Amino acid sequence: MNLKMRLKDEWRLGLSEGRAKGRAESYAEGRAEGRDETMLSVIHTLQMQGQTQK
């Protein structure tokens, strides 16, 4: 019985660690995508205003 309880506890711990890791990776990926979209928007706006690349 003790072994079953330990296995269940370890399973829960692994599940919670996996979820935390997944959330962290999703957050980082979302930030990177948001940063890219923002930079493209800024570039597009500057081009519309007649700014050169320099």
What is the per-residue pLDDT for 44? 92
Q: Which residue range(s) make up the domain with 1?
A: 1-54
One DSSP character per residue, 2-50 reads HHHHHHHHHHHHHHHHHHHHHHHHHHHHHHHHHHHHHHHHHHHHHHHTT
| Total number of domains constituting the chain | 1
Res. 3: pLDDT tops 90 = no
pTM above 0.85, yes or no: no
Average pLDDT over residues 34-43: 94
Q: Which two tokens stand for residue 23?
A: 């959330």
Res. 34: pLDDT tops 80 = yes
